[in-house]
Amino acid sequence: MTKNYNFAFLDEGSKREIRRASLKAVAIPGYQVPFGSRELPIGRGWGTGGIQLTLSLIGPEDILKVIDQGSDDSVNAVNIKKFIQFCSNVETTIDATKASIIQSRHRIPETPLRNDQIVVLQVPLPEPLRIIEPSEEITKKMHGEMDYSGVWLELYESLIKYDRITVSSDYPCNVEDRYVMNPSPIPKFDNHKLHEAECLYLFGAGREKKIYAIPPYTKVVSLSFDDIPFEVESFENKKCRLCGSTGVYMDEIYDKETGEVYYQCSDTGYCSMTRRKTEHE
């Protein structure tokens, strides 16, 4: 059945263009490389940037993991996984240590990743300056001149209004003291995983037609004021009700009937792997 499609759905020319854009992105960490976003069987803005990156990277030997907000089993993750498998026949997994390509939306896996792994992140809004400047022509110039006062102003405004920085996801970072970038809507809890990482991160925005990258061992610093340190979500004294993990990013689940509040790992793959391990012991 897959024979009716080219391997990994896209034609070879398209894949080559996406790879070229990816290589340029790796060469200039944090810089948004424009690319001709292709039509896919799903609408733009539904993970199409990530899917195109994955399709351009994947080979028969690869093992794929797809997660959506940490979950391997959510509708989007399952459908994307099925689609890629359908047109490439690659093996899939929920084990982050086994996967060679991990496509994700809104989370970076808890398990530290290796340098033979690639994380593909889906990006809705790649441009950190868009919120203060609607024109692409001008934001390009602003990047060129490192004019990032607008991004800082956004953070400062939230300090003025709420006495703290309220940005909780897609928290802007500075890459190699050059480009300011949106790390995609990962919680700021995950921002440190981009810094000096072993794996390659690729970011794809299908609707906005941009690709950017954080290659291994890149300096990625979350923006913060001198007198107000960067803080992440704290899950102190909380542990996962399923696997017992601590120090990971957790979902809060509220039981309407009993009024009880539970915490459990947002990364479901990590959670089940931890449980499997403890069951073996």
Partner 1 sequence: MNESPVLKVDNLTVRYHDGCPYCLEGGKLEKNRCPVCGAVYAVNDISFEVYEGEILGVVGESGSGKSTMMKSIYFDQEITAGNAYLGTYHDGEKDIFTQNNQQKRYIRNNIMGMVYQNPMLGLRMDYSSAGNIAEKMLAAGNRNAAKMASRATELLEAVDIMTSRMKEAPRNFSGGMQQRVQISKALANNPSILLLDEVTTGLDLSVQAKVLDLIKRIRAKYRISILLVSHDLSVIRMLADRTVVMFDGKIIESGLTDQILDDPQHEYTQTLVYSLL
CB atoms within 10 A of CB 231: 11
* DSSP structure string for 94-105: S-TTT-SEEEEE
3-class DSSP assignment, residue 4? helix
Of 107-166, which residues contact partner 1 (CB under 8 A)? 132, 141, 144-147, 149-150, 152-153, 156-157, 159-161
Report the length, in residues, of the chain.
281
Pick the closer one to partner 1 by CB: 5 or 225: 225
3-class DSSP assignment, residue 212? strand
Instruction: Calculate the alpha carbon distances from 37 to 46, 204, 207 in Å.
Output: 13, 10, 7
Which H or E run contains 200?
Answer: strand 200-205
Give the CA-trace dihedral at 55, 104, 172, 162, to 10 degrees: 150
Active-site position among 50, 173, 265, 269: 265
Q: How far is the CB of 3 from partner 1 (least distance, A)?
A: 54
Structure-token match 């047109």, residue found: 87
Q: How far is the CB of 172 from partner 1 (least distance, A)?
A: 13
Active-site position among 87, 173, 199, 240: 240
Active-site position among 30, 49, 204, 206: 30
Tokens of 169: 């996801």
Among 27, 228, 253, 261, binds partner 1 (CB under 8 A): 228
Pick the closer one to partner 1 by CB: 146 or 261: 146
Pick the closer one to partner 1 by CB: 3 or 161: 161
Q: How far is the CB of 197 from partner 1 (least distance, A)?
A: 25
Pick the closer one to partner 1 by CB: 152 or 262: 152
Of 238-277, which residues contact partner 1 (CB under 8 A)? none
Q: How far is the CB of 162 from partner 1 (least distance, A)?
A: 10
Tell me if 65 sits within 8 A of 82, measured CB to CB.
no
Q: Check if 173 is active-site.
A: no
Pick the closer one to partner 1 by CB: 230 or 235: 230
At position 191, the amino acid (one-letter code) is N
Q: Check if 87 is active-site.
A: no
Strand partners, 251: 264
Task: Tell me the catalytic residues.
Answer: 30, 240, 243, 265, 271
Question: Site residues (CB under 8 A) for partner 1?
Answer: 132, 141, 144-147, 149-150, 152-153, 156-157, 159-161, 225-228
